[in-house]
Amino acid sequence: MGACAEPVIRLTKPLGIAALFVVAVLVLAPVLALISRAESGGVSAAVWPAIRFTLLQASLSALISVALAVPLAKALARRAFFGRGLMVSLLGAPFLLPSIVAVLGLLAIWGRSGVFSDMLAVVGLGPLDIYGLEGVLLAHVFFNLPLATRMLLQGWQAVPSEHYRLAAQLDLAPRAKFALFDMPVLRGAAPSALLVIFMLCMSSFAVVLALGGGPKASTIELAIYQALRFEFDLASAAQLAIVQLVVGLSAAALAFHFGKATRFGGGLGAPFQNWDTRRGPKLLDGAVLVLAALFVGLPLLAILAKGLAGLGALPSGLWGAFTVSLGVAAASTLLALGLSLVLARLIETSRRGGAIELFTLLLLATSPFVIGTGLFIIINPFASPFALALPITALVNAALALPLMLRIIRPALSRVRQDYGRLAEGLGLSGWARFRLLTFPQIRPELGFATGLAAALSMGDLGVITLFAPPDVQTLPLLMYRLMGSYQMEAAAGVGLVLVASSFGLFYLFDKGGRGAGA
């Protein structure tokens, strides 16, 4: 880089190193604390059932989600239809939907008093029971089928339209098309999707807490929660957290190894045209799209309907919980945004940028309960962790959002440097003026999207707060869970609607602000 860029590097490098130190502390300090408290002599026999169930449900959830995503992604890739954009947007809704709210929607459709149980009662059959492994799998597929579909869809959309046209002109058989197009896409995207979803399901807490149905469906994170909140057994919690960390890091390493997209070569950028006009595949794609829309859309409609009906039963502590959730979301988002900006700049200007980015991704592979349990052990000798529930929750939420924000912001910064770096240096533009006049306007959409994503996820998180929160402190997700635990389902539905509106509202405001007034 030119001489005019040096002041920028000198100013931002210390901040980047400080941010990297914060990441290192968040990753390494809890791990060292866990190692110091974990019992020696191997994994206790009492925790093996939780380990087995965790691996079973995460493996099955990943396999089912990806298997169902294959026909759905292929149908979206090769069909142009009215409402396709809305369908793709609908597939993004479960990712932003707070877990505890989604559970309420799934129970309204699939539960013992749900829509399908009422339909079965008409023909004399018993109600559905989705508590246990079946309910956990159902919820995880609801959350992760859209994610798997988006990951596979990117693979099919990378195939140039000219390839399909040539295949149609050559009248290739369906088996040959599958070998030339579909199989390379699946080899490139499916392993990575499987492992990413496995990691997400392995660290799932709210779903198992609400739908597990008993000790037989206890995961590692639920066992950590029970060990800390009910038994105060730090040694067992530390041992479980270490197992969770080892499995998560192993899955993350495999995901990085297999996460390589298949390249099909370049095309002329022609718009996609489906050259397969056979009636059979067309009907099959239509059926897949309708079933997927119902599977994702019905719980969302149930959440809306039950939430509207429950607005009259909102509890008195609602707005206090809303204020707490908003404060935690604001603090965690601001911290994650600041860290991601300076780390992105450090990655861009450092020769070891790739290693730094890989290190920050360890936060994504590290379960929030691993970080939370380690922080609990560190803080406990000096202060009450329960008194610091909200700052710790904000810190952990920021740590989890940081890798996601970094993956969005860093490519945008790299693009600005490549496109405008020489021009800025020629004009002598540097420091704060360069960021304000050049960098910020160019990366504003990515900043808005990343900030909205972090705020929405933090607003709806029901995780670490359950480890630390005393009875008189509650966020909106925690209030909703406590209402559900006391069978106040109407009030819980009303709180759920407020929570959904808050999460999506935060995302919309930041994303809209990033895109500008005319977007």
CATH of the domain at 157: 1.10.3720.10
Q: Give the per-residue pLDDT at 398.
A: 92
Q: Where are the alpha helices (DSSP H) in 203-317?
A: 206-211, 220-229, 234-258, 279-309
**Quick check: is 498 in a domain?**
yes
The more confidently predicted of residues 331 and 277 is 331
Give the burial class of 326: count Cβ atoms within 10 A of its Cβ; 0-12 exposed, 13-18 middle, 19 or more buried: middle
Type of residue found at 123 = V
Q: Give the per-residue pLDDT at 265.
A: 47
**Quick check: is 94 in a domain?**
yes
Chosen domain end from 267, 290, 309: 309
Q: Are residues 187 and 314 in the same domain?
A: no
Return the minimum-mean-pLDDT range out of 157-171, 193-207, 233-247, 398-412.
Answer: 157-171
Q: Give the per-residue pLDDT at 455.
A: 92
Q: How many CB atoms lie within 10 A of CB 3?
A: 9
**Quick check: is 129 in a domain?**
yes
The arithmetic mean of pLDDT across residues 359-366, rounded, is 73
Q: Are residues 353 and 206 in the same domain?
A: no
**Quick check: is 292 in a domain?**
no
Q: Are residues 32 and 76 in the same domain?
A: no
**Quick check: is 51 in a domain?**
no
Cα separation, 494 vs 318, in Å, equals 10
Q: From the CA atom positions of the chain, what is the Rg in Å?
A: 24
Q: Residue 478: which of 372, 321, 275 has the closest Cα?
A: 321
Say which residue the tokens 């160019």 belong to: 442
Q: Give the per-residue pLDDT at 266.
A: 46
**Quick check: is 471 in a domain?**
yes
Q: Give the per-residue pLDDT at 499.
A: 93
The arithmetic mean of pLDDT across residues 296-308, rounded, is 91
Has residue 145 got a pLDDT over 60?
A: yes
Q: Are residues 335 and 382 in the same domain?
A: yes
Q: Are residues 191 and 333 in the same domain?
A: no
Cα separation, 157 vs 79, in Å, equals 12
Has residue 477 got a pLDDT over 50?
A: yes
Has residue 271 got a pLDDT over 60?
A: no
**Quick check: is 344 in a domain?**
yes
Q: Are residues 370 and 502 in the same domain?
A: yes
Confidence of residue 5 (pLDDT cuts 50, 70, 90): very low
Cα separation, 324 vs 474, in Å, equals 7
Q: What angle do CA 243, 245, 251 make, to 5 degrees?
A: 105
Range of the domain at 164: 59-219+299-309
Q: Are residues 393 and 407 in the same domain?
A: yes
The arithmetic mean of pLDDT across residues 447-455, rounded, is 88
Q: Are residues 337 and 374 in the same domain?
A: yes
Q: Are residues 379 and 444 in the same domain?
A: yes
Question: pTM value?
Answer: 0.77
Q: Are residues 342 and 405 in the same domain?
A: yes
Q: Give the per-residue pLDDT at 8.
A: 43
Q: Are residues 337 and 482 in the same domain?
A: yes
> Which residues, other chains included, contact 146 with Cβ-Cβ below 8 Å and sequence gap of 6+?
90, 91, 92, 93, 94, 95, 296
Do 481 and 206 meet the contact criterion of CB atoms below 8 Å apart? yes
Task: Kindly state the helix (H) or strand (E) to which residue 457 belongs, with its residue range.
Answer: helix 440-459
Do 20 and 346 meet the contact criterion of CB atoms below 8 Å apart? yes
**Quick check: is 253 in a domain?**
no
Has residue 65 got a pLDDT over 80?
A: yes
What domain count does the chain have? Answer: 2
Q: Are residues 155 and 213 in the same domain?
A: yes
